[in-house]
Amino acid sequence: MADIWWKADPHDLHRLTDRVSSVYVERSHLDRDENAVVIINKRQTVRVPAAMVAVMLLGPGTRTTHAAIRLLADSGTTVCWVGEQGVRMYAAGLGPSRGAGLLHRQAWLVTRPKERLAVARAMYSMRFPGEDVSALTMQQLRGREGTRVRKQYHHHAERTGVPWNGRVYVAGDAHAAGDDLNRLLSAANAALYGICHAVITGLGASPGLGFVHTGKATSFVLDIADLYKAEYTIPLAFDLTAQGLTEERDARLGLRDLITRDKLLTRIVTDVKNLLTPEGAEFEDSEANLLWDEQVGAVSGGTNYADSADLSVYGIGDNHIAVIGPDLDETGPTS
Task: Write out the residues near another protein by the rule CB under 8 A.
Answer: 5-6, 8-9, 11-14, 18, 33-37, 47-52, 71, 75
Least separation in angstroms between CB 48 and another protein: 8
Q: Which residues are CB-neighbours of 292 under 8 A, at least 6 positions away?
A: 298
Residue 2 or 323 having the CB closest to another protein: 2
Strands 88-92 and 297-300: unpaired
CB 180 within 8 A of CB 171: no
* 302 φ/ψ sector (left φ>0, alpha ψ -120 to 50, else beta): left
CB 186 within 8 A of CB 225: no
What are the residue ranges of helices labelled H in 161-245? 180-203, 219-225, 233-242
CA–CA dist 271, 263 (Å, integer): 13
Residue 24 or 193 having the CB closest to another protein: 24
Residue 75 identity: S
Least separation in angstroms between CB 65 and another protein: 15
Residue 35 or 137 having the CB closest to another protein: 35
* 178 φ/ψ sector (left φ>0, alpha ψ -120 to 50, else beta): left
> What are the distances in angstroms from CA 332 to CA 212, 279, 326?
59, 65, 14
Q: Which residues are CB-neighbours of 163 under 8 A, at least 6 positions away?
A: 157
Least separation in angstroms between CB 43 and another protein: 18
Q: Which residues are CB-neighbours of 92 under 8 A, at least 6 positions away?
A: 78, 79, 201
Q: Which residues are CB-neighbours of 2 under 8 A, at least 6 positions away?
A: none
Burial 294-327 (b: 16+ CB within 10 A, else e): eeeeeeeeeeeeeeeeeeeeeeeeeeeeeeeeee
Helix (H) or strand (E) holding 9, with range, is none
* Phi, psi values for residue 92, rounded to 5°: -155, 170
